[in-house]
Structure 1
Amino acid sequence: MERLVEKAEILMEALPFITKFRGKTFVIKYGGNAMAKADLKVAFAQDILMLKYIGINPVIVHGGGPQIGQMLKRMGRESKCGGGRRVKDREARGVVEMVLGGLVNKSIVMLINRYAGGHIRAVGLTGKDGGLIRAKKLDAKEYFRQMGDFRPTELLDLGHVGEVEYIDTQILKHLEEDNYIPVIAPVGFDTEGNAYNINADFVASAVAGALKAEKVIFLTDIEGLKDEQGNTVSSINVERINRMIEEGVIKGGMIPKVKACIQALSQGVKKAHILDGRIPHCVLLEIFTSEGIGTEIVS
């Protein structure tokens, strides 16, 4: 009886949020331990399907850095990283496309479809599908300057690592109308057909901006943004984030992530969220509870 009462209370708390967000689009960057552990993968799939069932339109953008690194290691290749970006040469590009657009993408699609029912299904995409992601070669010097980070000259040519130039949302809108859940690998292409691996955080940000999404949500392996005392910040605005970057409170790999949040907000996304993907059902807990569990970022 107590369990039923507890479930009823949870449902009553969630109802206003369900009504508020029905028909809205949430773009979710899926990565970290949430992609690695079996129980977390199942919880993520269930969260995504729950959003779709209640009338919210989830769009997933996934990473795959560890999987790429493992494949390159098996091939005897070294993968250098800098400033939150993974450096690739021409030969490694094929591995990136195979791992991100094939192995990782299709495993996520299969996972969601295993628990899906009725007329809801997930479908996998790369930037090539429907001209979804147009990319250009990343200017490394400019990137590191923006990040406040300076690297040795041998890391300044990032090879086939790119940045988003344009998102064509047509295919995403068609999929939404037909009740599909898009699962996007962060591989874009330029006007000459060259493929580029793109930081998945920035792809999620660009997709969210192009769709004018209600939320963009980033799953990470930390509790959220930390303040000067090391405490998790539940809500923060862009002005304070910029100040924390200048003061060195936010640093390293978190800088590209918060920059992606700021970029999304500047393009019309209502809110950005950084969540601990190691917590089962973190997406539902953040969205459908008053307190949330991570960091909410607003303009």
Structure 2
Amino acid sequence: MTNRAGRTGTLNEELLRKAATLQEALPYLRRFAGEVFVIKYGGHAMGDDTLAKAFAENIVLLKQVGIHPVIVHGGGPQIGRMLERLKIHSQFVDGLRVTDRETVDIVEMVLSGSINKQIVSAIQLAGGMAIGLSGKDGALIQARKLTRSKADPDSNIERILDLGFVGEPRHINPDIFNAIDLDAVIPVIAPIGVGKNGETFNINADSAAGAIASALGAAKLIMLTDVAGVLDKDGQLLPVLTPRDVLVLRGEGVITGGMIPKIETCLDAVRNGVGAATILDGRVENVILLETFTEHGVGTMIRRDDPADGEGG
């Protein structure tokens, strides 16, 4: 026979915890109502069915409480698998995929096609209304060719590297956001840009998300990654960084490798008026809700040097 009193006691404890969680969220629900969050979605979170489902549900919850999420997604592993299937060789320079004309067609097909529509479908299955966009739609992401230089190891002379149709955002056209109702619709954007002469450019999703966040004056830029955030020299998470902190950490060799361009994107965003930029571990279920609606948040937040700016959940 079930011990009703014991069961009720356990149930009450669970309900109290849930009530306390909602109470903790209340200031952030008020603070962010009506604000835009630009969320870069990529990495392991995209490849795991459970995490992908939780991501879609998190996005719909943000929308339900009055926040306007704008999703910018990557898709490097999926592009790589398609190129392998088609027996198209892919070369990388400093982490960037060299993209010739044949490759950029595949990149656009994968990003603007299958991946974009999978994310749209997942959000709609979770109860939201999503619309898939390419950066080419409405000339949303106007791009230019990305140039990189590298010192020759023998002569130490800098030489320009040709990355093909790899681009960087030149201008974000906000008209498309004015044309759709952000109060109702969740945009899901593939990071494909259009050049001045109609060329198609493959753009890094982090860069695209940062540029869109800046153009929209977003309250938050959220970067989902495959790491917990920025770690100190002892491997401990650094919860908050300012531009001054970043300068010191780079000088000490703490911030290195692939984290450098992510940090630079975040710094550019906050310099351009984004409230705060946060690097989160996309491998953690419901990480967006934990960051947004809890007092201490998770991951690493990059904010302006003024402590009055960009604080909080």
Partner of 2:225: 220
Determine whether 1:24 maps to 2:35: yes
What is the CA distance between 1:152 and its match in structure 2?
A: 9.7
SS at match of 1:103: helix
Candidates 90, 111, 125, aligned match of 2:122: 111
User: Which amino acid letter does the alignment assign opposite residue 212 of structure 2?
Assistant: V
Aligned residue number for residue 132 of structure 2: 124
Match of 1:133 among 123, 141, 147: 141
The aligned counterpart of 1:36 is 47
Amino acid at match of 2:222: I
Matched-pair contact (CA < 8 Å) for 1:175–1:181: no
1:10 maps to which residue?
Answer: 21
Q: TM-score with structure 1 length normalisation? A: 0.93
Amino acid at match of 1:126: S
RMSD (Å) for aligned C-alpha atoms:
1.7
Match of 2:246 in 1: 241
Q: Please give the TM-score of this superposition, normalised by the length of structure 2.
A: 0.89
Q: 2: CA distance between counterparts of 1:277 and 1:177?
A: 24
Q: 1:228 deviation in Å?
A: 1.8
Between Structure 1 and Structure 2, how many residues are aligned? 289
Per the TM alignment, residue 180 of structure 1 is displaced from its structure 2 partner at its CA by: 0.5
**Contact 1:272–1:296 (Cα < 8 Å) also in 2:** yes
Which residue is 1:75 aligned to? 86
Map of 1:194 onto structure 2 = 199
- Inter-partner Cα distance in structure 2 for 1:67 and 1:26: 25
Aligned counterparts of 1:205 and 1:287: Cα–Cα separation in 2: 18
Change in Cα spacing, 1:220 to 1:209, as seen in structure 2 (3 Å) is same
Give, as a single letter, the amino acid of the residue that structure 2 aligns with 1:136: R
CA contact (8 A) 2:68 2:182 kept: no
Please state whether the residue corresponding to 1:183 is helix, strand or coil. strand
Which one has the largest radius of gyration?
2
Give 1:219's aligned amino acid.
L
Query: 3-state DSSP class of the match of 1:176?
Result: coil
What runs of 5+ residues in structure 1 fail to find an aligned partner? none
Give the unaligned 5+ runs of structure 2: 1-11, 305-313
Letter in structure 2 aligned against 1:32: G
User: C-alpha displacement at 1:210, in angstroms?
Assistant: 0.2
